[in-house]
Structure 1
């Protein structure tokens, strides 16, 4: 099946309580029969450190930090390798640059990382969000309490194609990729696949703030029209997926469709929670010409609300700005 992961990079930001994260990454690597590298990506000493240290002390401290990191990672990998063969790497510096460089130079097709624990880290420029915006391959942010197996996988799709044709086609292809990745995860985890689309006929804030007067009967007609349009598109995407899969695989998956009239920034997360999602697969970038452009901030706001793993997918042609 398309999208099968072959080369996985598991990123550790520190040496604390990482066994569960690595176990989850190894579980994913095993199910995909992929090569896996565990990278300890550490921040370099602060730039102002060399102002209060002698030059030789600054260099020596950097070298000591790298040596100790290498020793710790080498020791840990002995137990990890008993579960599955792992490679290791240590990178000191800007974690985003080091991770993206590894992805580009080693043909990595999936990055796995544990979610940030600090709310402030998640909110203000965390490595998680930077990777979801700028890493060129899919990024799988695992829950802070990883599960050994997923039971419910959600593919969150944006089926609104009322855009210039080029952008609409980018969105169509992104939806195809999200659906492929989600179905692959569901198959390998023996999980239920849920396909979710949330649409808003008229933006909620416009009616709430009194900017638009809506005739209820016309509104109901518009909602019915939108629902029919999106349902037809979702059916078409599932038909395409069925042609990509082996015979009877889609019949085995039995994807459950959820087309919800609501507010995407709220109801993608709410609906995912209601179906007990273990992982949500969604597009994080809609426009290939704008590096790191999040879909109207919907993806970013949704991720902050989710209490499960997230897999962020980039559109074809995405070029990292890093």
Structure 2
């Protein structure tokens, strides 16, 4: 199963409490991984005098950096006995500097807490969406109210049987990463593992809508049932592959709960997450062909805007961020 070696925790300057920092330290300790805690301060025009004061923007930036460094040290000090922690202050735009840090130093997980949002507002802010779209490594986004340990881990996989051989290979690789991460989380936190796949039968609305000459209803029903079985078998193959990687003993302990959901993933996955009270959703972000690195998939983004739990988002193999180190 997946293990992390080089974690990057992003401290939100506006957050009163360091949401997720204890979890990052626990995850680093459990994986015997390095942990770096960073905070990003806004850049200022260099050397600009402040009218009427014997100061410049350089002085303001230095003071801001010193204050930020002091806060970082104070926050991580209680955790240093359990894990080795490096702290660093970055200057610039948050998502841009975080991704550059990942590219420069090979971090394999970024952890960040989302800001408190007004009721009915989308869970993720603009910085979070930029990270979801462009961060090359897995990204964990938590909430201030999240528990320290997950009770239910929900993994969302896509197992489209009718995809091309190339698309299936890409999806299988992404599914493997999703399931490995979800299994590792469930194992480390003694949590339930739920694995979901939402499916639809190609052409069902047209077949049932009477817009074209259609076969008997019983034949349509048989076609829908065959599609359900096909998707169910593909889901089982993904779990069989997980068992081959994790081992029979691990799978016996995990006992993943299967959810074969008929309907659109953008509707069914958020509904399932709410129904089982999932603590974290692990899913892949697959951009449109030809726009690699610029957009997460439309379905993934729709799901992410409707859920109310933490997220662990995974990029497909070969993803290249548009941001350079």
For Structure 1 versus Structure 2, the TM-score category normalised by the shorter chain is 0.7 to 0.9
Structure 2 unaligned blocks of 5 or more: none
2:84 alignment counterpart = 85
**Which ranges of 4 or more aligned residues in structure 1 deviate by more than 4 Å?**
49-56, 119-125, 202-216, 286-289, 293-296
CA contact (8 A) 2:12 2:18 kept: no
CA contact (8 A) 1:45 1:62 kept: yes
What displacement does 1:5 show? 0.7
Q: Helix, strand or coil: the match of 2:56? A: helix
- For the structure 1 residues 317 and 245, does the alpha-carbon distance in structure 2 shift closer, same or farther, using more than 3 Å as the test? same
Q: Helix, strand or coil: the match of 1:44? A: coil
User: Is residue 2:85 matched to residue 1:99?
Assistant: no
User: Is residue 2:27 matched to residue 1:28?
Assistant: yes
What displacement does 1:127 show? 1.4
CA contact (8 A) 2:199 2:264 kept: yes
- For the structure 1 residues 291 and 92, does the alpha-carbon distance in structure 2 shift closer, same or farther, using more than 3 Å as the test? same
* Mapped partners of 1:95, 1:295: distance in 2: 19
CA contact (8 A) 2:115 2:143 kept: no
* Mapped partners of 2:64, 2:208: distance in 1: 55
What displacement does 1:149 show? 1.1
1:181 alignment counterpart = 181
Which one has the largest radius of gyration?
2
2:153 alignment counterpart = 153
Q: Helix, strand or coil: the match of 1:305? A: coil
Q: What TM-score comes out, normalization by structure 2 length?
A: 0.87
CA contact (8 A) 2:161 2:231 kept: no
Greater Cα offset, 246-255 or 198-207: 198-207
- For the structure 1 residues 122 and 134, does the alpha-carbon distance in structure 2 shift closer, same or farther, using more than 3 Å as the test? farther
- Equivalent runs, 1:1-322 vs 2, <5 Å: 2-14=1-13, 16-45=15-44, 57-118=56-117, 122=122, 126-202=126-202, 216-286=217-287, 289-292=290-293, 294=295, 296-322=297-323
CA contact (8 A) 1:152 1:278 kept: yes
1:94-152 Cα deviation digits (max 9, x unpaired): 11221111111111100000023236995786111111111110001112212121111
* Mapped partners of 1:54, 1:300: distance in 2: 47
CA contact (8 A) 1:195 1:256 kept: yes
- For the structure 1 residues 154 and 56, does the alpha-carbon distance in structure 2 shift closer, same or farther, using more than 3 Å as the test? same
- For the structure 1 residues 299 and 50, does the alpha-carbon distance in structure 2 shift closer, same or farther, using more than 3 Å as the test? farther
What displacement does 1:162 show? 3.1
- For the structure 1 residues 241 and 123, does the alpha-carbon distance in structure 2 shift closer, same or farther, using more than 3 Å as the test? closer
Structure with the higher fraction of residues in helix conformation: 1
* Mapped partners of 1:124, 1:118: distance in 2: 8
* Mapped partners of 1:75, 1:106: distance in 2: 24
Computed over aligned residues only, the root mean square deviation of the Cα atoms, in angstroms, reads: 3.2
Structure 1 unaligned blocks of 5 or more: none
Q: Helix, strand or coil: the match of 1:129? A: helix
Q: Helix, strand or coil: the match of 1:270? A: helix
Q: What TM-score comes out, normalization by structure 1 length?
A: 0.88
- For the structure 1 residues 52 and 226, does the alpha-carbon distance in structure 2 shift closer, same or farther, using more than 3 Å as the test? farther
